Amino acid sequence: MDCEYSFPRVRHWSRRRRIVIQVTQGDHLPWKGAPLSEQQQGPIYGRHDSPSFSSSSSNTSLSGHRQDIRGSSLVTLDELDTWWIRELIHRAAYIDAHRARVAGTCKGKVLATLFYEPSTRTRLSFETAMLRLGGQVVGFAGSQLSSVSKGESIADTLCVVSSYADIIAIRHPKEGAALVAARSADVPVINAGDGGHLHPTQTLADLATLQARLGRIDHLTIGLCGDLTFGRTVHSLIETLTRFGNVRFVLVSPPELTCPRYVLDRIDASRTCSFQETGDLEAVIGDLDALYMTRVQKERFFNEDDYLRLRDSYILTEDKLRLAKRDMAVLHPLPRVNEIAVEVDRDPRAAYFQQVKEGMLMRMALEAALLGDELPGYEPGEEVAA
């Protein structure tokens, strides 16, 4: 059937029935950024049964009805309840401690990585995660290497790739592309970053790093510094931390790159979270439990002069770190340009290369969970000694 369709807050559902919804020009997405054109969207194939994901942020007890994520897609972390987020952190720690034992968890499974824009860490992390679980990988890196260069829609690409792979990871420069992909595929789809919107698996890596460094992911004062307008990692992290509560966000940016209103609204909606906006990193760094640095993203700017003017707004140096707590964790989603001086790498507070490892482990945990493959010897909710 043809109908106009405005995307709701994401829900996913079982795979028993499908309907076809033809998206028309001008359909809006529930976030900033231009909508995909009609040709880019193509027809969206949706499952039409009861949702398997819950938007509730409450924890689900082991004895209760735990959220079932097997066979489901992950477009935003709002689709995972907080029990599952903590559970994935525990599973990642278990995987790290039992790598040989879990090596065959996804044997016979195939991951497709569809990366429509450049990526090194995220693509290799997804692929390495599947390979370490005993599975295999297919895919492409760059839209010029896919049939999109011939005019194929995202929807058609996903329908085709669903026949080859058991699970798909997609990165795309357009906000909302991951949702289109999830609606189109017959297998689980993981959002590996959609434009300036969200990057849920990077957030999982960030949370695992905070847990490893600080022993908690709540009751924090966290600074986020740099490009807060286009930084999808920042948006994902803020929106997820507000669900755990008791977090004070210190937002450090030039006036041109402040945090979008829809992200600030998430903080305002929390009864236990608050935020402060400032342009002076040195004035606030001493209050922080963690500092999340970001680069100014050249690829998000239409005007190169604006990029060049803002690129060096904040550079973290050893001198600035002397003002910080001795146990503050410094995070960065990478790649780094020059916003963290190389000399900082030697500081024990530098946690950004640890994030890379945690990201791979969290993707291993997530891929296995969405595929319904159990980790040998693992008991849900167990704590793993560091």
Binding residue numbers for carbamoyl phosphate: 121-122, 171, 199, 202, 334-335
Instruction: Please list, in sequence order, all residues whose beta carbon lies within 8 angstroms of the beta carbon of residue 88, skipping any fewer than 6 positions away.
Output: 80, 204, 362, 365, 366, 369
Residues making up the binding site: 121-122, 150, 171, 199, 202, 232, 295, 334-335
Q: Is 295 left (phi over 0), alpha (psi -120 to 50) or beta?
A: beta
Whole-angstrom Cα distance, residue 131 to residue 127? 6
Q: Is 35 left (phi over 0), alpha (psi -120 to 50) or beta?
A: beta
HSE-up of 366 (CA within 13 Å, CB side)? 35
Residue 45 belongs to what H/E stretch? strand 43-47
Residues making up the binding site for L-aspartate: 150, 232, 295
| Per-residue DSSP letter, 381 | T
Give Cα separations from 347 to 64, 100, 124, 178, 294 (angstroms): 44, 32, 26, 37, 18
Residue 39 contacts residue 156 (beta carbons within 8 Å): no
Residue listed under structure tokens 């309840």: 81
